[in-house]
Copies of this chain bind each other. A is one copy, B any other.
Amino acid sequence: MAGLVNSSPSSQLPGDFKDLFLRVGPQMVALDRFVRQQVDCFEPEIRDMAAYCLDSTGKRLRPTMVFISGWKGDGIVSDDLVRAAGVVEMVHLATLVHDDIMDRADLRRNRRTASREFGPDAAVLLGDALFSQALHIASLFPTTEVCRLVAGSTRKVCSGEIMQTLRRRDITISLAEYRRMIDLKTAELFRASCFLGAKLSGYAEDFVQAADHFGHHLGIAYQIYDDLVDFVGEEHRIGKTLGTDLATGKLTLPLMLLLEQVSAEERAAIGAALRGGHPLGLAASRQRMTELGIAGRVVTAIDEELRLAARGLEPFADLAPVPLMLQLGSMLKAQVATLQTSAVAG
């Protein structure tokens, strides 16, 4: 979600979003410092490689969710939240290192991927080391709860990624299976981030559950948005190679909706293009998605998830985190609208 929440200047953001960006600023500064300190925990032989992966130019969406779900007031920076944010971000970065091996991706955030920089073999192990260090940080909390939650969530994320890998180029996948896959691979860590934020800040159990529910639905919405970016985004703005989902045969909601709408004959042709990784066939698929207005249906699906996310927060409107959480949902909605405009224009 380029430009949504990151450490680059926020001058292009509309007022509301600039506000959220500025408000989590002190937390992000503390997170930066924390992550830099973590580099020294790695064995000297791999420290530079770890530092390369822990680079801070990412969107930091999961840390943002930890911070705002546990919000106590402006300028209040809790060590526990910073540490939890560090854990979820490192787990996420580890999964990216492994994802980029499988996707044979060269570029992420306008830099070479770890797989491209150090080779895929070293990148497998480097991802493992990042996972391990994330769990090590989790074990520094007084109780085992954070470790248990993060280890369980990580296992689920991996399960979702395995489903995705095994079903690549398989156009028989159902919408229910797709939903289950993104629940695991994306929504799980969003959910855990919100749960941890609310829990570690000492909010009551009913709000912790609402935060959990919010994180889950925002995660689903975000994954569908990410699916959409891959086919209508502009590469130079997003900072990563686009069209890779199609090229690598990843089953995304736009593709699934396309397959649902076309004739059996066209479906077979798309399936063949996917299996062969045929560039012309894939370009044609992207063209067809535009013709059939697939983006509109995808946006409807995102809006529905954002609505569900927000609805669960209604009973807690007076709690400090809620306005910020709703603002994050609105930001994603606005980001989707921008993308949709460019898709229609393109």
Contacts and interface: CB of A to CB of B under 8 A. Distances in A.
Interface string A139-173: 11111100110011011101101110110000000
Contact of A132 (B118, B140, B155): B155
A133 to B, nearest CB: 5
A118 to B, nearest CB: 8
Contacts of A128: 95, 98, 127-128, 131, 154, 158
A175 interface: no
Stoichiometry (number of copies): 2
A126 interface: yes
Most buried by B among A98, A128, A154: A128
Contacts of A43: 155-156, 159, 184
A293 B126 CA distance: 37
Contacts of A162: 45-46, 49, 122, 125-126, 129
A26 B135 CA distance: 32
A151 B229 CA distance: 36
Q: Is the interface of A mostly helix, strand, loop or mixed?
A: helix
Most buried by B among A139, A140, A154: A139
Most buried by B among A121, A122, A129: A121
A159 B124 CA distance: 11
A43 B128 CA distance: 20
A155 B143 contact: no
Given A41-B155, A136-B152, A139-B139, 10 more contacts: A42-B155, A43-B184, A46-B163, A95-B128, A101-B124, A125-B165, A129-B155, A131-B154, A138-B147, A140-B144
Interface of A: 41-43, 45-46, 49, 95, 98, 101-102, 118-119, 121-122, 124-129, 131-133, 135-136, 138-144, 147-148, 151-152, 154-156, 158-159, 161-163, 165-166, 180, 184
